[in-house]
Structure 1
Amino acid sequence: MPTAQSLSRFYVQVFLMGALSGAAHAAAPVPQLSPAIGGVLSEDCGSLISRVTSLPHTQLTLSETIKDGALQQGGQAVAEHCRVTGKMYERTSPIDGKPYAIGFEMRLPKNWNGRFLHQGNGGIDGVVHPAVGAFGGGPLTSALHQGFAVLSSDAGHAGANPAFGVDPQARLDYGYQAVGKLTPMAKALIEAAYGKKPDRSYFAGCSNGGRHAMVAATRYFEDYDGVLAGAPGYNLPLAATANLAGARLYQSVATREVNNHIDLATALTDKERQLVADKVVARCDALDGLQDGMVQDVAACQKVFSLKKDVPTCQGERDGMCLTGAQKDVLAQIFAGPKTRKGERIYASFPFDGGFGGGRSGVPSGGSPVGSGVAFWEFFASTNLDSGATGIIFKVPPESPVNFQGLEFSLKTDVDALLKAMYASNELYTESAMSFMTPPHPTDMTGLRNKGGKIVVYHGVSDSIFSVHDTEAWFKGVQKRTGTDMAKLYPIPGMGHCSGGPATDQFDLLTPLVKWVEQGVVPERVVASARGAGNAGGANPDLPSTWDGARTRPLCPSPKVARYKGSGDPEKAESFVCK
Structure 2
Amino acid sequence: MQPSVTGESSKVQEAAKQEETTGGTSQVLALPAKGRSRHIHVKAWVCGIVTILVSITAIALAVWAAASPIGPPKPKPLKCDKASFTPILPSGATLEQVTAVPEGGSFGEGAANIPYPTNPTDLPELCALTVRVVSSPTSFYRFGLFLPAAWQGRFLAVGNGGFAGGINWLDMAPGAHYGMATVSSDLGHNSSVTGLSWALNQPEMRTDWGWRALHGTIVLGKQLSSAYYGKSIAHSYYNGCSTGGRQGLKEIQNFPDSFDGALIGAPAWWTSHLNNDVTRVGIYNLPVSDPKHIPTPLFSVIADEVVRQCDSADGVTDGIVTSPELCTFDFSPLLCGPFSNTSACLTQAQIATAKKVYNDAISTADGSLVYPGLTLSSEDQWYILLGGATDPSPFGVGYERNFLLNDANWDWRKYNDSLIKLAEQTDPGNSTAAKFDIHPYKDRGGKIFMYHGVADGLVPTKGSEYYYNKTIEAFGGKLDDVTDFFRFFLIPGMQHCWSTPVNAPYNIAGAFQAGAMGSGQWSVPGFKDKDHDAVLAMVEWVEHGKPIDQIVASTWRSPLNASSGLSGQRPLCPWPLKATYNGAGEVSAASSWSCPKLSGGGIRLKKPWWSWW
TM-score category (smaller protein): 0.7 to 0.9
Question: Residue 321 in 1 paired to residue 347 in 2?
Answer: no
Partner of 1:128: 167
Q: Is the 8 A contact 1:42 1:194 kept in 2?
A: yes
TM-superposed deviation, 1:124? 1.1
Partner of 2:269: 234
Aligned AA for 2:473?
K
TM-superposed deviation, 1:522? 0.7
Secondary structure at the aligned position of 2:100 is classed as: strand
TM-superposed deviation, 1:212? 0.1
Partner of 1:436: 430
**1:59-104: per-residue Cα shift (whole Å, max 9, x none)?**
11111011101149999943101100011016553xxxxxx31111
Separation in structure 2 between the aligned mates of residue 505 and residue 235 of structure 1, nearest angstrom: 24
Separation in structure 2 between the aligned mates of residue 413 and residue 378 of structure 1, nearest angstrom: 18
Separation in structure 2 between the aligned mates of residue 321 and residue 533 of structure 1, nearest angstrom: 26
Aligned AA for 1:454?
K
Separation in structure 2 between the aligned mates of residue 440 and residue 79 of structure 1, nearest angstrom: 38
Question: Residue 89 in 1 paired to residue 134 in 2?
Answer: yes
Distance 1:285 1:440, change over 3 A: closer
Distance 1:41 1:84, change over 3 A: farther
Q: Is the 8 A contact 2:99 2:127 kept in 1?
A: yes
TM-superposed deviation, 1:556? 1.8
Distance 1:467 1:168, change over 3 A: same
TM-superposed deviation, 1:150? 0.7
Aligned AA for 2:454?
V
Question: Residue 524 in 1 paired to residue 549 in 2?
Answer: yes
Name whichever of 348-357 and 143-152 sits farther off: 348-357
Question: Residue 415 in 1 paired to residue 386 in 2?
Answer: no
Aligned partner of 2:406 among 387, 391, 398 = 398
Q: Is the 8 A contact 1:280 1:352 kept in 2?
A: no
Separation in structure 2 between the aligned mates of residue 423 and residue 156 of structure 1, nearest angstrom: 23
Question: Residue 506 in 1 paired to residue 507 in 2?
Answer: yes
Aligned length: 476
Separation in structure 1 between the aligned mates of residue 279 and residue 76 of structure 2, nearest angstrom: 49
Secondary structure at the aligned position of 1:176 is classed as: helix
Distance 1:42 1:377, change over 3 A: farther
Partner of 2:493: 494
Aligned partner of 2:313 among 259, 279, 287 = 287
Separation in structure 2 between the aligned mates of residue 538 and residue 374 of structure 1, nearest angstrom: 29
Aligned AA for 2:445?
G
Q: Is the 8 A contact 2:505 2:568 kept in 1?
A: yes
Aligned pairs for 1:108-507 within 5 A: 108-130=147-169, 132-133=171-172, 142-160=174-192, 161-165=195-199, 166-251=201-286, 254-255=288-289, 267-301=293-327, 304-306=328-330, 308-309=331-332, 311-315=334-338, 319-342=342-365, 344=367, 347-357=370-380, 373-380=381-388, 382-393=392-403, 395=404, 397-399=405-407, 401=408, 404=409, 409-410=411-412, 412-425=413-426, 432-433=427-428, 436-439=430-433, 441=435, 443-482=436-475, 483-484=481-482, 485-501=484-500, 502=502, 503-507=504-508
Separation in structure 2 between the aligned mates of residue 438 and residue 145 of structure 1, nearest angstrom: 32
Aligned AA for 1:409?
D
TM-superposed deviation, 1:231? 0.6
Q: Which has the higher contact order (CA 8 A, sep 6+)?
A: 1
Separation in structure 1 between the aligned mates of residue 419 and residue 365 of structure 2, nearest angstrom: 14
Distance 1:324 1:219, change over 3 A: same
Q: Is the 8 A contact 1:176 1:212 kept in 2?
A: yes
Name whichever of 520-529 and 381-390 sits farther off: 381-390
Secondary structure at the aligned position of 1:111 is classed as: coil
Secondary structure at the aligned position of 2:140 is classed as: strand
Separation in structure 1 between the aligned mates of residue 378 and residue 300 of structure 2, nearest angstrom: 8
Separation in structure 1 between the aligned mates of residue 270 and residue 586 of structure 2, nearest angstrom: 40
Aligned AA for 1:162?
L
Distance 1:174 1:45, change over 3 A: same
Aligned AA for 1:85?
T
Separation in structure 2 between the aligned mates of residue 351 and residue 558 of structure 1, nearest angstrom: 18
Separation in structure 2 between the aligned mates of residue 522 and residue 131 of structure 1, nearest angstrom: 28
TM-superposed deviation, 1:159? 3.1
Distance 1:154 1:449, change over 3 A: same
Listed as ranges, the gaps of 5+ residues in structure 2 are 1-74, 108-117, 476-480, 509-532, 597-613
Q: Aligned-pair RMSD on alpha carbons?
A: 2.9
TM-superposed deviation, 1:352? 3.5
TM-superposed deviation, 1:317? 5.9
Aligned partner of 1:558 among 563, 575, 582 = 575
Aligned pairs for 1:50-89 within 5 A: 50=85, 52-71=87-106, 77-89=122-134
TM-superposed deviation, 1:316? 5.2
Distance 1:524 1:318, change over 3 A: same
Aligned AA for 1:567?
A
Distance 1:270 1:68, change over 3 A: same
Q: Is the 8 A contact 2:568 2:589 kept in 1?
A: yes
Q: Is the 8 A contact 2:78 2:227 kept in 1?
A: no
**1:148-179: per-residue Cα shift (whole Å, max 9, x none)?**
11111111223344233211111112111223
**1:455-474: per-residue Cα shift (whole Å, max 9, x none)?**
11111112122111111121
Separation in structure 2 between the aligned mates of residue 71 and residue 576 of structure 1, nearest angstrom: 40
Separation in structure 2 between the aligned mates of residue 268 and residue 232 of structure 1, nearest angstrom: 28
Q: Is the 8 A contact 1:240 1:382 kept in 2?
A: no
Separation in structure 1 between the aligned mates of residue 254 and residue 153 of structure 2, nearest angstrom: 24
Separation in structure 1 between the aligned mates of residue 262 and residue 431 of structure 2, nearest angstrom: 17
Secondary structure at the aligned position of 2:166 is classed as: coil
Distance 1:354 1:180, change over 3 A: closer
Separation in structure 2 between the aligned mates of residue 212 and residue 444 of structure 1, nearest angstrom: 17
Scaled by the length of structure 1, the TM-score of the pair is: 0.76
**1:330-371: per-residue Cα shift (whole Å, max 9, x none)?**
1111111344434735532235433422xxxxxxxxxxxxxx
Name whichever of 478-487 and 553-562 sits farther off: 478-487
Separation in structure 2 between the aligned mates of residue 549 and residue 309 of structure 1, nearest angstrom: 37
Aligned AA for 1:284?
C
Aligned AA for 1:80?
E
Separation in structure 1 between the aligned mates of residue 581 and residue 119 of structure 2, nearest angstrom: 30
Question: Residue 103 in 1 paired to residue 105 in 2?
Answer: no
Question: Residue 576 in 1 paired to residue 610 in 2?
Answer: no
Secondary structure at the aligned position of 1:60 is classed as: strand
Distance 1:536 1:283, change over 3 A: closer
Secondary structure at the aligned position of 1:422 is classed as: helix
Separation in structure 2 between the aligned mates of residue 409 and residue 492 of structure 1, nearest angstrom: 37
The percent of aligned pairs where both chains have the same amino acid is 25
